[in-house]
Amino acid sequence: MSARLNDSCLLIGFPDYREAAQRLARAAGIPYADALIHHFPDGETRLQLPESLPEYVVLCRTLDHPNSRLVELVLAAATARDLGVKHITLVAPYLCYMRQDKAFHPGEAVSQRIVGTLLSQWIDALITVDSHLHRVHQLKDAVPVDPAINLSATTVMSAFLGEQLDNPFLVGPDEESEQWVAAIARDSDFDYCVARKQRFGDQQVRVSLPKADYRNRHIVLVDDVASTGHTLEAAMLALAYFQPASISVLVTHALFVGDAQERLHRAGVSNIWSTDAIPHSSNALHLDHLLADALDGCRKSSM
């Protein structure tokens, strides 16, 4: 990265994602500053940016706990514009509201399109990781900015798994996970298969496994996101019947709400691994270099 690019750019992070944002700034060779956040007793936020900003700013904020963080992101982007910033790249390793990509019932908000449009009003470019794109295939169709880059953690995951387990057998818990499971398996020549999931509600999930020889294998369940953990738990319970040597879990986005992790431990999970797209005790894989490479390309094309 040339000195000119470094000097004319600043990466701004938020307290709840500071460590990963600072790692990214170091990997990308960009100076770092905090957005100062104060939460008032009534739930509102006061946000303050450095008063002197370069024309090119990277906002690094992952978007779990989306409702309050989206508002704070808009406060930050609007303030940056007021301070003269010409170009804002958002690095949001976890991009919220991507699963509601249609109205499943009459009158339902199509949150993906609504939140995507909101973001596009404030940012110029977007970098995210393993965004949940199902019926809408291109990130730019969900968040209309250019570029809208949807990276995948699969290369980082396959290198990681190769160091952890001897000849693992990857299982995707539902059809949508096939893209990630297949990519990791292809990279490292691992066996894989994909199960079928039926969801009856937030907490009710049934997973049916395809016929395969799971016995005595080191199984790794791979998914983009673990939210309530019911998808992974149902897959684990189905797999346990076949007496594998171990069952581990590897996800990009570790939401793990409520007692999700405890339930997986009760079901006998050997390892729970995740990337640092969302800060969590299971984080074992860093995405800084993956994100820094994308950011580098993105900045060179827009400066």
Task: Tell me the number of residues near ligand R5P by CB under 6 A.
Answer: 13
Nearer to ligand R5P, 154 or 231 (CB): 231
**Does an H or E element contain 249, and which?**
strand 246-254
Asked if 191 touches ligand R5P (CB under 6 A), the answer is no
Q: In the sheet where 9-13 sits, what is the strand order? A: 32-34, 9-13, 56-60, 87-91, 125-129, 148-151
Q: Which residues contact 128 (CB under 8 A, 6 or more apart)?
A: 91, 92, 93, 94, 95, 139, 149, 150, 151
Residue 43, token pair as written in the block:
């739930």
d(CA 36, CA 87): 20
Which of these segments, 39-47, 155-163, 174-182, 208-216, binds ligand R5P (CB under 6 A)? 174-182
What are residue 113's phi and psi, to 5 degrees? -70, -40
Burial of 110 (0-12, 13-18, 19+ CB in 10 A): middle
Among 224, 254, 290, 298, binds ligand R5P (CB under 6 A): 224
The binder of ligand R5P chosen from 230, 280, 286, 299 (CB under 6 A): 230
Binding flag, residue 116, ligand R5P (CB under 6 A): no
**Does residue 85 bind ligand R5P (CB under 6 A)?**
no
Q: Could you give the CA distance from residue 276 to residue 284 in angstroms, rounded to a whole number?
A: 7
Q: Of the ranges 2-10, 12-20, 217-225, 288-296, which one interacts with ligand R5P (CB under 6 A)?
A: 217-225
* Candidate list 101, 124, 223, 288; residue touching ligand R5P; CB under 6 A: 223
Which listed residue (141, 176, 178, 296) binds ligand R5P by CB under 6 A?
A: 176
Q: Cβ(234)–Cβ(189) under 8 Å?
A: no
Is residue 264 within the footprint of ligand R5P (CB under 6 A)? no
Q: Least distance to ligand R5P from the beta carbon of 259, Å?
A: 12
Report strand pairing: 205-208 vs 196-199: antiparallel
- Name the minimum Å distance from CB 224 to ligand R5P: 5
Binding mask 195-214 for ligand R5P (x = CB under 6 A): ----------x---------
Cβ–Cβ under 8 Å, residues 248 and 270? yes
User: At its nearest, how many Å lie between ligand R5P and the CB of residue 61?
Assistant: 21
Q: Which of 124, 130, 174, 276 binds ligand R5P (CB under 6 A)?
A: 174
CA dihedral angle for residue 137, residue 208, residue 230, residue 185, rounded to 10 degrees: -50
In the complex, the smallest distance separating the C-beta of residue 177 from ligand R5P, rounded to whole angstroms, is 6
Our CB check for ligand R5P shows the closer of 167 and 204 to be 204
Among 211, 157, 220, 213, CA closest to 183: 157
Q: Is 25 exposed, middle or buried (0-12, 13-18, 19+ CB in 10 A)?
A: buried
If one asks whether residue 226 binds ligand R5P (CB under 6 A), the answer comes out as yes
Task: Choose the stretch contacting ligand R5P; rule: CB under 6 A; options: 10-18, 106-114, 218-226, 274-282.
Answer: 218-226
| Positions that interact with ligand R5P (CB under 6 A) | 174, 176-177, 205, 223-231
